[in-house]
Amino acid sequence: MFEELNEVESRFQQLNVRLCDPAVVADTALYTKLMKEYSTLSPLIEAYRAYCAAQKDEEEAQALLEEGGDRELHELALGQLHEAQKQKSALTETLKTLLLPKDPNDDKNVILEIRGGAGGEEAALFCGVLLRMYLMYCAARGWKTEFLNANETELGGYKEVSLLISGKGVWSRLRYESGVHRVQRVPETETQGRIHTSTATVAVLPEAEEVELEIDPKDLQIDTFRSSGAGGQHINKTSSAIRITHLPTGTVVECQDERSQFKNKDKAMRVLRSRLLAQKQRAQDEKISSERRHQVGTGDRSERIRTYNYPQSRVTDHRIGLTLYRLEDVLDGNLDLVLDPLLSSAHAQELSHTAKGPADGE
């Protein structure tokens, strides 16, 4: 590990020199590329230098203890030794995590799709609850959100809704939200106070760049239709809504959020491109052994990942066995209560796999 860290520090120093070179500064594309690499390496270098400082403190303390001296000096050296060893231990784990292979999607924006599942209108209302939760979480994080499509119901729910979320660390924080979200509560329309169970599916897709996926226009069937849904003066008056069908895969994307047909087409293409990239990546993942898959979940939409129980004010994430009695906090956007332990579990699994080495035959 430390041999690798020495190489990384050498590269970091080279970047530092090159970023001060006037020729590099004048080349905007090159400067941006190198600056991005510099920013990516900075946390790792900072942790490594802190580790080296702690190691130096440990060696100095050990030397003082071996020299002997009065009791007060001995106690100071002993305290310094224990503190340095404690710091080294914590920084070693930090360095292991920072050295894990970087997900190629980490710097990408995401398209988040929420769809009603089992439960009819109650499922649609639950989609609205999840949408509010994600919007509040994004606002707290300082992320930008843009509606790509929204198919509302008369009671204020959503049959489906999709968002483009942009900001630092969006994919790394939200990547495990894909799957079935289940709600247990008494619907407003229930007259006998019975608890109903409904579901909604969430898909989190890294936004695909045009260069990553080439789509042949001949493979697309593009239809226009009148917008439908609850509200909006332009609803049902103009054929501005767009439906794009990717003929080779049968993937269908609709967008009716904008008044402009052109804008709807642009948004629909962004969603289509990201869905097709996700399909391509899933096909590649099938070649990876099960040992290397994240144990917190595959991200498959058919996998039930979380339950929101209103009567008990309980949130349970089934992948890591986490139960919190803070439902209101989570639904108000404090999603880190769930995401932090979820990501910690994912990192632990990755570290475990790294320690074991690759599976046989990989």
Q: Which strand (E) or helix (H) includes residue 57? A: helix 28-67
Structure confidence at residue 284 (pLDDT): 58
φ, ψ of residue 87 to 5 degrees: the values are -65, -40
pLDDT number for residue 180: 93
What integer pLDDT is reported at residue 295 of this predicted model? Answer: 37
**In terms of DSSP bridges, do strands 220-225 and 251-255 run parallel, antiparallel, or are they unpaired?**
unpaired
**Do the beta carbons of residue 186 and residue 193 sit within 8 Å?**
yes
121 closest CA partner among 162, 158, 84: 158
Q: Nearest 10 degrees: CA dihedral of 256, 259, 264, 266?
A: -160
Question: What secondary structure letter does DSSP report for 219?
Answer: G
Dihedral sign computed on CA atoms, order 285, 117, 137, 315: negative
- At position 2, the amino acid (one-letter code) is F
**CA distances in angstroms from 332 to 104, 177, 204, 311, 328, listed in the order given:** 30, 16, 20, 17, 6
| Structural domains for the chain | 2-98 (1.20.58), 108-207+315-362 (3.30.70.1660), 212-288 (3.30.160.20)
Cα distance between residue 62 and residue 358, in whole Å: 38
Distance of alpha carbon 51 from alpha carbon 151, whole angstroms:
53
For 12, 45, 104, 119, the CA distances from 35, given in Å and listed in that order, are 11, 15, 17, 50
pLDDT tens for the chain, residues 1 to 362: 778 888 888 999 999 999 999 999 999 889 988 998 888 889 889 998 999 999 999 999 898 888 877 788 888 889 999 999 999 989 888 887 777 777 777 778 899 999 999 888 899 999 999 999 999 999 999 999 999 888 888 888 999 999 999 998 899 899 999 999 999 998 876 767 788 999 999 999 888 765 456 788 888 888 887 766 554 444 445 567 888 899 888 888 888 766 777 788 888 888 888 888 887 777 655 644 443 344 344 444 456 899 999 999 999 999 999 999 999 999 999 999 999 999 888 877 776 665 554 444 44
Contact 95, 1 (CB under 8 A): yes
**Cα four-point dihedral sign 162, 164, 170, 172:** positive
Distance between CA atoms of residues 55 and 313, nearest Å: 47
Hey, how many other C-beta atoms are within 10 angstroms of the C-beta on 194?
Answer: 8
Cβ 140 vs Cβ 170: under 8 Å: no
Helix (H) / strand (E) element for 96: namely helix 71-98
Whose tokens are 């593009």? That residue is: 222
Report how far apart, in Å, the C-alpha atoms of 150 and of each of 116, 144, 187, 214 are: 12, 17, 22, 27
Residue 215: its H or E element: none
Tokens of 151: 């198919």
- How far is CA 87 from each of CA 66, 80, 348, rounded to the nearest angstrom? 21, 11, 20
- Using alpha carbons, list the distances in angstroms from residue 155 to 47, 77, 118, 229: 52, 69, 17, 11
Contact assessment for residue 292 and residue 353, using Cβ atoms and an 8 Å cutoff: yes
pLDDT value of position 288: 41
Residues in the chain: 362
Contacts with 129 (C-beta within 8 Å, 6 or more apart), sequence order: 183, 308, 331
Residue 229: per-residue pLDDT: 56
